[in-house]
Structure 1
Amino acid sequence: MGSSSSKSSPTPSPNTSTSTIDYRAKPTMDDLSNTNNGGVEISKSMIDFNLGDKPCPLKYTVQDQFNIVNMNKTKLKFHIEPIQPKEFQLSFSPSSGTIEKGKSKLIKVKLIVNQKINTNHKIVLRIEGGASHFLTVKIRCETGVFGVDPTTLECVEDEGFSVPSILVSMKKSLIESGGLQQEGIFRLAGEQNEIKRIKETMNRNEFTSSTDINTIASLIKIWYRELPSPILNSVPTEKIFYSSDVDECVAAVNNLPEPQKSLLNWLLNLLLQVSSYSSVNKMTAQNLAIVVSPNLFDQRSSNPMEGLVMSQKCVQFIHNVLLNRISQYRYSKSIEI
């Protein structure tokens, strides 16, 4: 089984507060747009090396660039802190330095990918005495069933929704292995080596299950997280931001284009099944929304406060829709009785 230690889990415990901001609060869009950027503007928050949908080549240098603009009345010092995994080499020139007031600094980015990987890699731009900013390095070079356009995959009907067959296979494995009753399912991370191994077999269209239930749950989240266009990014920002009205959240889901609509509804149905065993697995609708929502939305702004608020609003959005789904399910069961 996957380790239950906090170090192995990529998502916070639902019972642990990670912020002083209440995701149920109701700030205005003006509050968000006026959030202090620390007097810094960044020309782009998504670094994709201008590849678009083209795969990133292996062991070949690709380049991109962006500008940091200092709007402060004094010069500032900056430092970029990338984490260097073994799968690729990422460098910034310059990676640190000063920017005079009213001036900008051009930052050149170089990437060499050592092995096939699909990821949205986060880096931190630290401003001395100011707020940190976040940028996303988009890397797509692995073909298969992860990180690709879902319309290119073989789809099957499952519970009334047309979804890639790999999702149905993972759900079947999860349920047959007792995943619905597993405490902390979708919250606890699977074993990283096992996740990598099974993911590689899936990308070769050779699905194999795992004795680690948390690995399968993790792979379902990873599949959604690595979509070229995250599902909730297709929902108008204001619909997520003002997510206190359940009916409006449900309407926003119903107005999603395909395949996003079917993909989200399929996932919500799976989460509904998981929540029905919450007395055993401890995963209530709120807990599930907290651990699953981050995989459905990619914050494109470098503004850290905006990213924090929007991520929490996504939690509320999914929580509302899931509560509505649970209510409908219970009502249908009472009618049957």
Structure 2
Amino acid sequence: MWVEIYERGERMFANLGTGQCQWEAPIGEPIKQANLSQWWELFDHSTGRFYYYNAFKMTTVWHRPLDADIIPLARFQQRQRRARQDSQISNSKSTTSANNDATSTASNNTSTRQLLNASSAGHSMSSREDLIEEMNEEEAENEDVILENTIALSACTTPRRTPGVGAESSPESSPVKTLNNSRLITREKSKSVATPTKSPADKKIKRSLSAASAKIPKSNFGEACSGAFLLNRGFMKKPMLVSELLTFQKKQLKRPLTNGSSKILMKEFGESFRLVNSYLENEKMCDLVSLISFGWNHSEIANEIYPSIIKQSRHNPNDRSLQVALELTAICLYFFAPSNKNVQNLIKEWLNLHERDHKPFYQSCLSRLKKVVEKGNRRGLIDPGEPEILLAKRHIYQKSMFGTTLEDILATQNEQFPELEIPWIQRELTSVIIRLGGLSTEGIFRLPGEIDRVNALRVDVEDYHVRNADDPHVACSLLKLWLREMGKPIFPEELTEEILNTSENKEESLEIISKLSDLTKTCLTHLIRFLQVFAKEKVSQKTRMDSANLAMVMAPNLFRPMSDDPRLLLDNSRKEINFLRNLIEGMDTSSASEYDSCFTVEKV
């Protein structure tokens, strides 16, 4: 009896009596057609029980499904198992010596006759108990079920399953194993029948598949990162390559790309893929906001988003899709990092492929990836909004006030504020802190501002206005963030050791300032004069922040750590505080007096 079997959309025909398996439909033979209610009855040697597998639903259960079309493939398994073992024995005999060729041929013929005899004898057995007894007599070298073609002699083991619906996806189940160097079923025609005539629809499908496979060559892209992905394609197929998995497709995903197991991933992977696909096609802001929110709130969705972007950009017929994908990756990296290191390495590998043709995106993505991996995701309780996302997009093409050098900031602001010798952001934030009552606010500089309001003020500052500032703590937090994220710190790393060595002597501390560049010295003078206002006795009585406390909270923003050793960091921290305190208490800042109107020094 011939039956039609489907596994992941690929059709084959098996003869339950002879064990023959082939791709083409046998001519002149009755065939039992496959359908959605078709279940395979198989045998598990590890438990000695039958189980049932639905290839359409990819579901495995122990109990016999009701009102189902049961295909008894257990005997078919056993015959294939015997055929493989007999063939392996015959092949090993044939390679021992050239003088034993005749003996090996006879052995092969004997094995074939034994297989046919066993097949016909087994066919006469009717009870399931006899079949169980027959199978238990086999030597259990491999505890998993084997379903393979006699000609191909390729092995495929089935997982140990947990009873119940959906047993294949149970945490106790083992992954399906396949051989990498052979197909499970070889496309060999049955020698007993002629080649059937193919319908025009079959020919059309074959031509389209051939054209697609010829257009997209196989590559080793992403193979070093394969541990992050679900590459197994089904019960009787070998795993796909990462380059095959990460290739553009129009249809929605049926399962996640990555191998995460969280409930949120299984629930939302389809929606995140849809948002990626939609944005690459239409570039709608609503899709971008939703996608950023997904990745920022859920780390496993973040790990899914980046491979989805890469997948939909590779071999995409839309020429613009690659540029949009690179831009989208840079925007995402502004807010959240992939927690999986394999995904991080995949992003780097993908970016390296486009370094020459898309260098601005390459540089922006790499710098943001490094920063977000080191410092973590964008902080806050409120999801990123449209203004912040637009800012992240804008700074792909132009420099931000944050994370850049003093020279770059002055060059950027020169058109609007050519008269300023210091960064506009430094002058404005220091003025806002005093205007909002910072001189009488207890814990100023020490207490942090609300992080979401800091993020909002940062967006305003990038547009050169602070109209919405209403809390001195928020302005102080943003000032410290700007100083901390400078491309080059106020105190250069090459002078740090020399600076720290002068921390115990006030005169030496003041003298070493002359080694700073003119621009750095100007900015430092302005900052120290600003801190000196808060160090005055009548101000510190209200704020509880004297020169020592001010130096303690501001020093980490002006220096870069020189070591990862905790003991050395602690010792250097003490020296940094002493050095900054020497400057606050003894540095001559009269050259910055032009900004006294901002500091309201005379009113203090």
- TM-score interval (norm. to shorter): 0.5 to 0.7
Specify the alignment match of 1:307 in structure 2.
569
Q: What is the percentage of aligned positions where both structures have the same residue?
A: 23
Q: Which SS does the other structure have where 1:231 is aligned?
A: coil
Q: Please show how residues 124-273 of structure 1 align to structure 2 within 5 Å.
A: 143-152=399-408, 153=410, 154=413, 162-234=421-493, 235-273=495-533
1:287 aligned residue: 549
Shift, 1:144, TM fit: 2.3
Instruction: Give structure 1 regions of 4+ aligned residues with deviation exceeding 6 angstroms.
Output: 107-118, 155-158
Q: CA deviation at 1:183?
A: 0.8
Structure 1: distance between partners of 2:533 and 2:418 = 18
Distance verdict in 2 for CA 1:118–1:183, change over 3 Å:
farther
Report how many aligned residue pairs link the two structures.
221
CA gap 1:239/1:256 in 2 versus in 1, 3 angstroms: same
Q: How far apart are the structure 2 equivalents of 1:170 and 1:265?
A: 16
TM-score (norm 1): 0.56
Residue-by-residue CA offset, 1:233-260 (whole Å, 9 max, x unaligned): 3534132134100011111123211322
Mapping of residues 70-89 of structure 1, within 5 Å: 87-89=336-338
Q: CA deviation at 1:204?
A: 2.9
Question: Whole-Å Cα distance in 1 between the matches of residues 496 and 366 of structure 2?
Answer: 37
The whole-number CA distance in structure 2 between the counterparts of 1:286 and 1:109 is 47
Corresponding residue number in structure 2 for 1:27: none
Aligned amino acid, residue 285 of structure 1: S
Query: In structure 2, what is the equivalent of residue 134 of structure 1?
Result: none
Quick check: 2:337–2:372 contact (8 Å CA) kept in 1? no
CA–CA separation in structure 2 for the residues paired with 1:110 and 1:312: 40
Q: Name the counterpart of 1:43.
A: none
Q: Deviations over 1:26-84 (max 9, x none)?
A: xxxxxxxxxxxxxxxxxxxxxxxxxxxxxxx75549xxxxxxxxxxxxxxxxxxxxxx9
Q: 1:265/1:58 Cα in 2 relative to 1: closer, same or farther (>3 Å)?
A: farther
Q: Mark the CA change 1:181 to 1:116 in structure 2 (over 3 Å): closer, same or farther.
A: farther
Instruction: Supply the distance in 2 between the matched residues of 1:120 and 1:145 (Cα, whole angstroms).
Output: 17
Which residue identity lines up with residue 250 of structure 1 in the other structure?
A: L
Contact 2:551 2:580 in 1 (8 A): yes
> Which one has the bigger strand percentage?
1
Q: More relative contact order in 1 or in 2 (CA 8 Å, sep 6+)?
A: 1
Structure 2 stretches lacking a partner, 5+ long:
1-325, 352-364, 377-394, 591-604
Cα pair 1:59 1:114 within 8 Å, conserved: no
**Alpha carbons of structure 1 residues 241 and 184: separation in structure 2 relative to 1, 3 Å:** same
CA 1:183 to 1:320, structure 2 compared with 1: closer, same or farther past 3 Å?
Answer: same
Task: Pick from 272, 275, 278 the counterpart of residue 540 of structure 2.
Answer: 278
Corresponding residue for 2:322?
A: none
Q: Contact 1:289–1:315 (CA<8 Å) still a contact in 2?
A: yes
- Partner amino acid for 2:567? M
Number of the residue aligned with 1:39: none
**Worse overlay, 313-322 or 144-153:** 144-153
How well do the aligned residues superpose, as a CA RMSD in angstroms?
3.8
On the 8 A contact 2:404/2:487 being kept in 1, the answer is yes
CA deviations on 1:153-203 (whole Å, 9 max, x unpaired) are 336699xx8211121111221111111211111111011000001101212
Higher relative helix content: 2
Give how far 1:118 is off.
9.9
